[in-house]
């Protein structure tokens, strides 16, 4: 990047200088990348705190918002946090704490562009506090329900726009002087290059050097990076929205503003590769992450274990900021991670054998299509578990099978077999009895039956034997049935564990965010530009200024 930047000024600087710069750039590359990375993360954290406080404030949770801003200031001592906390206390009529925050704001940021306005706010608050105290004294003699303290007169527009934003202005290289002009008159024409006096309706509110962290009111601003060293002047417009962090970086050496790409996902920690579909280089970052990138077309690859890979191309203009919101979809299969309380179990899903788990080995991972499936777990001497299981999409469902021993059925089988033998004997005896009776009846019909026919006696004994056999068989059958049914032991069961994400070989497992109420399909949503890309020009040169809010 530096080589490309330097090429634009080759005619002005000697080759020696070029080599020196290149060398320094090479030496500084590692540290720069690390610094850039930590700076990006810091900004991401500040942004997160600011957004959270702003959200609570808009929701009317002033106490919560104040708490967040206080914590934000403690972690990142930017005066915008102080002011916003003061506003939150003021909304709660907590004059003392509001005054404390505003006074501290004046103290820590004496050059704040809105210092006068803040002092006016302090004065108004003190008056309101005094009036409230007087009202309280007067009310003491009248009664407790005399009324609430009089409302505090606040500056106009002090509702949603009361929150101040943090504006980070950087230049490449650092140290460039800049000025910030605020548009006071909404009808004022666009800022024209030149002094403030030449732009009615505009007022200079900041004049300092980059990098700088500014606390600004909501409004339209114009940033002018003045001529610095060999670089030309650059300028750009900037719109500040309440309770946000805005970053503005001017690459003076390149003569162009960089683009800003932020990739978010419903999966926190999803891996992002930029212009590296084959993943031959280290990953760009994990979601969410935003970073300045060169303008132009970029291929974005987002992956997370358990989710379908996402690929998209993003076209970024120089100085443009885009946020790519990726809604990752889980893969259509899941994994059952099975172990058991016994030395060995056989696992079937939908009647297909999927594997055998043995004690001492890792849990058996069974990959299967997501959805409801019939799970069968078998083990010798144990009750077979059969049940429906829902295989999750793109996740691991740990299952611990508690295999219960089969209740011994030996006595029942013995009784059943003996009963069956009795039944068989009874059936035989009954059959013989019937056969003999039929013969006797036939002989009687034929007039040949003799009264002392021995078959009558034998048939009678067969009948008695059959009846006795049926009784014994019935009793034994009943007892054996009872013993077959009797089972004081519980059924084998499966205890599902907490759903787990697929292992991530690159790092700790990502955590899926709860899906928002409504998400676009495989989103590559492009919001309205939050960065403003403005060319800057002056009589001595030109450049590009990138401004953004996020």
**Which residues of this protein are in contact with another protein, per CB under 8 A?**
423, 426, 429-430, 433-434, 436-437, 439-441, 443-457, 459-464, 466-467, 470, 473-474, 477-478, 481, 484-485, 487
> How far apart (Å, rounded) are the C-alpha atoms in residues 129 and 120?
14
Angle at 149 between CA 144 and CA 155, to 5 degrees: 170
- Spatial CB neighbours of 344, under 8 Å, sequence gap ≥ 6: 356, 357, 358, 359, 379, 380
Taking the complex as a whole, how short is the minimal distance between the CB of residue 352 and another protein, in angstroms?
A: 23
Nearer to another protein, 143 or 447 (CB): 447
Nearer to another protein, 204 or 443 (CB): 443
Please say whether the beta carbons of 305 and 317 come within 8 A.
Answer: no
Nearer to another protein, 264 or 483 (CB): 483
Nearer to another protein, 102 or 470 (CB): 470
> How far apart (Å, rounded) are the C-alpha atoms in residues 536 and 320?
15
Q: In which order are the strands placed within the sheet that holds 285-286? A: 285-286, 271-274, 296-303, 310-316
Taking the complex as a whole, how short is the minimal distance between the CB of residue 408 and another protein, in angstroms?
A: 16
Nearer to another protein, 451 or 516 (CB): 451
Residue 395, helix vs strand vs coil = strand
Taking the complex as a whole, how short is the minimal distance between the CB of residue 367 and another protein, in angstroms?
A: 32
Nearer to another protein, 279 or 486 (CB): 486
Taking the complex as a whole, how short is the minimal distance between the CB of residue 489 and another protein, in angstroms?
A: 13
Taking the complex as a whole, how short is the minimal distance between the CB of residue 440 and another protein, in angstroms?
A: 5
Nearer to another protein, 112 or 423 (CB): 423
Residue recorded with tokens 């994990």: 286
Taking the complex as a whole, how short is the minimal distance between the CB of residue 289 and another protein, in angstroms?
A: 58
Q: 68-73: list long-range contacts, CB under 8 Å, 24+ apart.
A: 72/46
- Spatial CB neighbours of 62, under 8 Å, sequence gap ≥ 6: 56, 88, 89, 91, 92
CA distances (Å), origin 136, targets 21, 143, 411? 69, 10, 91
At residue 389, φ and ψ (nearest 5 deg) are: -135, 145
At residue 382, φ and ψ (nearest 5 deg) are: -120, 155
> How far apart (Å, rounded) are the C-alpha atoms in residues 335 and 355?
13
Taking the complex as a whole, how short is the minimal distance between the CB of residue 455 and another protein, in angstroms?
A: 7
Please say whether the beta carbons of 396 and 499 come within 8 A.
Answer: yes
At residue 431, φ and ψ (nearest 5 deg) are: -65, -45
Nearer to another protein, 344 or 434 (CB): 434
Taking the complex as a whole, how short is the minimal distance between the CB of residue 507 and another protein, in angstroms?
A: 50
Q: Residue 367: which H helix or E strand, with range?
A: strand 364-369
Nearer to another protein, 55 or 474 (CB): 474
Taking the complex as a whole, how short is the minimal distance between the CB of residue 504 and another protein, in angstroms?
A: 45
- Tokens at residue 217, please? 């009111």
Nearer to another protein, 156 or 454 (CB): 454
- Spatial CB neighbours of 303, under 8 Å, sequence gap ≥ 6: 270, 271, 273, 309, 310
Taking the complex as a whole, how short is the minimal distance between the CB of residue 347 and another protein, in angstroms?
A: 22
Sign of CA dihedral 135, 137, 138, 144: positive
């Amino acid at each position: 990047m530096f080589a490309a930047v330097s090429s634009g000024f080759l005619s002005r600087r000697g080759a020696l200088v070029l080599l020196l710069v290149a060398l320094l750039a090479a030496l500084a590359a590692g540290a720069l990348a690390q610094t850039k990375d930590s700076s990006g993360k810091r900004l991401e954290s500040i942004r997160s705190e600011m957004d959270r406080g702003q959200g609570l404030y808009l929701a009317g949770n002033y106490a919560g918002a104040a708490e967040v801003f206080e914590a934000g200031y403690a972690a990142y001592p930017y005066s915008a946090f102080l002011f916003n906390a003061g506003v939150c206390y003021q909304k709660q009529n907590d004059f003392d704490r509001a005054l404390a925050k505003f006074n501290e704001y004046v103290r820590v940021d004496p050059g704040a562009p809105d210092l006068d306005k803040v002092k006016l706010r302090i004065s108004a608050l003190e008056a309101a506090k005094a009036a409230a105290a007087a009202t309280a004294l007067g009310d003491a003699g009248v009664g407790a329900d005399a009324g609430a303290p009089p409302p505090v007169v606040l500056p106009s527009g002090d509702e949603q726009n009361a929150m101040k934003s943090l504006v980070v202005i950087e230049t490449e290289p650092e140290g460039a002087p800049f000025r910030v002009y605020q548009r006071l008159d909404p009808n004022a024409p666009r800022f024209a290059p030149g002094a403030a006096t030449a732009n009615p309706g505009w007022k200079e509110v900041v004049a300092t050097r980059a990098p700088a962290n500014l606390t600004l009111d909501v409004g339209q601003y114009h940033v002018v990076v003045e001529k610095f060293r060999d670089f030309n002047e650059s300028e750009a417009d900037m719109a500040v929205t309440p309770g946000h962090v805005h970053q503005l970086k001017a690459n003076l050496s390149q003569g162009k503003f960089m683009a800003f790409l932020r990739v978010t996902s419903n999966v926190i920690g999803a891996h992002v590769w930029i212009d590296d579909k084959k993943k031959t280089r280290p990953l760009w970052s994990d979601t969410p992450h935003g970073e300045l990138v060169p303008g132009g077309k970029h291929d974005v690859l987002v992956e997370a274990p358990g989710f379908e890979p996402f690929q998209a191309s993003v076209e970024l203009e120089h100085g443009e900021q885009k946020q790519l919101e990726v809604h990752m979809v889980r893969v259509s299969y899941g994994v059952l991670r099975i172990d058991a309380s016994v030395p060995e179990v056989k696992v079937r899903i939908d009647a297909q054998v999927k594997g055998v788990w043995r004690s001492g080995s890792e849990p058996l991972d069974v990959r299967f299509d997501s959805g409801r499936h019939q799970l069968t777990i078998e083990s010798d001497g144990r009750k077979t578990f059969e049940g429906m299981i829902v295989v999750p999409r793109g996740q691991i469902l740990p299952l611990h099978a508690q295999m219960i021993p089969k209740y011994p059925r030996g006595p029942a089988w013995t009784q059943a077999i003996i009963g069956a033998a009795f039944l068989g004997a009874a059936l035989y005896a009954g059959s013989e009895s019937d056969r003999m009776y039929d013969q006797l009846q036939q002989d009687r019909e034929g007039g040949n039956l003799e009264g002392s026919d021995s078959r009558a006696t034998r048939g009678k004994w067969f009948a008695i034997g059959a009846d006795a056999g049926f009784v014994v068989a019935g009793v034994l059958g009943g007892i054996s049935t009872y013993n077959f049914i009797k089972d004081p032991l519980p059924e084998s069961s499966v205890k599902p564990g907490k759903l787990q994400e697929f292992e991530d070989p690159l790092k700790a497992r990502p955590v899926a965010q709860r899906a928002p109420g409504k998400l676009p399909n495989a989103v590559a949503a492009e919001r309205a530009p939050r960065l403003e890309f403005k060319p800057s020009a002056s009589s001595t040169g030109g450049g590009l200024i990138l401004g953004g809010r996020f």
